Structure 1
Amino acid sequence: MTREVEVAAETSSGAALMRVSSGKISRLMDLLGELSLSVSETVNSPDLSGLELTSFDAAVHRLTMLVREVQDAATELRLVSVDEVFRRLRRMIREMERETGKQIELVVEGSDTLVDKLVSDRLYDPLLHVLRNSADHGLEPPDEREATGKSRRGRITLSASQVGSEVRIVVADDGRGLNRDKILKKARERGFFGPEEEPDPSALWKVIFEPGFSTADSVSTLSGRGVGMDVLNTTMNDLRGRIIVDSAAGEGTRVALHIPVSLAFLDCIILRQGQRLFAVPVEDIREIVKPQAAGSLRIAAENGSEVMLLRESYVPVCRLERFYRDTGAEMRPLSEMVAIVFSTDSGLIAVPVDEVLDRQQVVMKPLLGALSGIRASWGCALLGTGEVAVVLDCERLAPGGER
């Protein structure tokens, strides 16, 4: 089915709207990606190596900047507000009230926030699962709420906002909160934690996104099958997004979805480790340090796990050759490498690499077939040199990021 989006066009009487099929916009994005790649291939052509081309370099710089401006303009064409998704969800609240017998107030904020049309098309189902969980498991019945000093009417807040290059969509309720003991008991039964292990909240909440995980004693028409949060997790992985859950007993639960504003182009730093190339989104990078050049940086190792002392904090080290089980790779001393420090939900991590090559705006493609099993990756990017780089998902490089 061909979908359409409305774009603004300037006319003699001012701005007007016209409908353009999303397929045509996607085709434009693909062509711009090919154009950007062709420019990179030209710049990196071995035929130009060693030549003094001052005027050519200046022209290439102008062309590169122009291509990026056109890419940004084309990206804006595919942005739509989340209002349509939010309006559909608002209509479902009345049905949830009938199913649960609870009184529910839905507060909507930031419905004019813009997001990629490809993202918008996939938001409804996972958000509906989160709302159903809040209504069914989170909010207490009216009498129970009144007995604890709360309003008989439960509140669910659905909000959206743009923070930098991310859109954050939050579903928060003022209900009873997640049942830590019940979730931990079920997680131990499923083998996610040992009998005596006491995980921190962020690690424990992650198990609710595992396939088939449910603590419900019975299945209702709204929830309890153990598939809803798994659907959310799968969708967020496909959209290069991440999920952050906060919960407090008796106060409620907050589920925040962090999603890139656009899926079309990705601003990346290109890295080389051994014979492999990696691309990392710029916004994921906290800083880049050269160990031997940083006077406040010391290196330590304990039980085979490495950490770096970065200023006054110890940062765990993730070696890509060890993570990808590259047994033939040489384990060079950290002092001879460049450390890329990333911010993750679990804290900072440092990834040592041999070389930082370039900064490029890349078009990401999915990993298919046998390559789809590459760990901690969003996909791959074809570089101007004709080489392919794996786009790293830094969250899954962090300790506990992959179960």
Structure 2
Amino acid sequence: MSVKKDFFESPDYFRIDELLSQEQLMIRDAVRTYVKKEITPVINDYAQRAAFPEHIVKQLGDLGCFGPTIPATYGGGDMDYISYGLMMQELERGDSGVRSTASVQGSLVMYPIFAYGSEAQKQKYLPKLASGEWLGCFGLTEPDHGSDPAAMNTSFKAAPSSGDDTRDYVILNGSKMWISNAPFAQVAVVWAKDESGEVHGLIVERGMEGFSTPATPNKWSLRASATGELIFDNVKVPKENILPGVKGLKGPLSCLTKARYGIAWGVVGAAMDCYDTALRYARERQQFGKPLAAFQLQQKKLAEMITEITKAQLLNWRLGVLMNEQKATPQQVSMAKRNSCEIAVNICRDARQILGAMGITGEYPVMRHMMNLESVITYEGTHDIHLLITGMDVTGLNAFK
């Protein structure tokens, strides 16, 4: 396995670090140090092999990256939302797949159990998920239903009774697709309709008969992330595994809001990495007797990169303040997710051009980030869907139907 040295220096053009508390800076720097030591030296090798670095799950748990805003009572970090965002920024600076592992675990698995689960469910699952002993996944997207989760087909019904046996389980059938962590997860939070068409969350455990998680092959994006399907073939799920605190799409959509917040911060980390790589390369690479960085068109690219990164950093910081004050709206989170993804994709592409042919090699992280971000700009709500969310918010008119 080839090991590469990490020379990353974080851009902070508007001295945003001065807006952060000492605790937030310490948390950010701890994750940055971890990424430099454990992720960036080896992640290209895992991406080239399309292999999931399974050993990082326990490391991320030890570092507190799973459920950082969950109370310590359940194994979480009791952290504020800016600290959470900074953690996701640093993880995605290493690789989008690493950040996805943490986002899914914290926002899509631990959060719904914490917010909508029974006390018994919280005690049983959250500490093991927080520590990294267990890995979780989130089942919402289906083969035929991505941006329209209300049309999901996965459903459950009461188990057939036998004599006086009232049965303490339900029968789950259906499938979910494009599920991060699925092939390695011990637990899945699955959203399905009951016999009346109402959506509920169910906690499905590996080992339940009829439950399988085949891996998704042939990915050109998120190659170091484990992606798979969830297949339910008459799975007997105990009734005690149904989340009692929520019904309807409010449940899964609230989870997506938490995850989108983490993505808004995370992809800026990928953009920062590409900018830093391009800046260093442009200073060192000589053409026509001078560094690339001395040419006007290259300076234009770099100036626009740092401008967009700075704008996104400030937007995310303000959103973090609103999250901490419980004033942030899902629509504001939606705007930040879309904006960060768009600027990150554009910055990665410009960085690749600055690096020329070297930009497509594993010697540099740019092409890996580019491929990853093509997934991130689509999942948790596509670019176009988030535009329509903002459009509906400012006009009051629904363009979805």
TM-score bin, normalised by smaller chain: under 0.3
Greater share of helix: 2
Greater share of strand: 1
Of structures 1 and 2, the larger Rg is shown by 1
| TM-score after normalising by structure 2 | 0.25
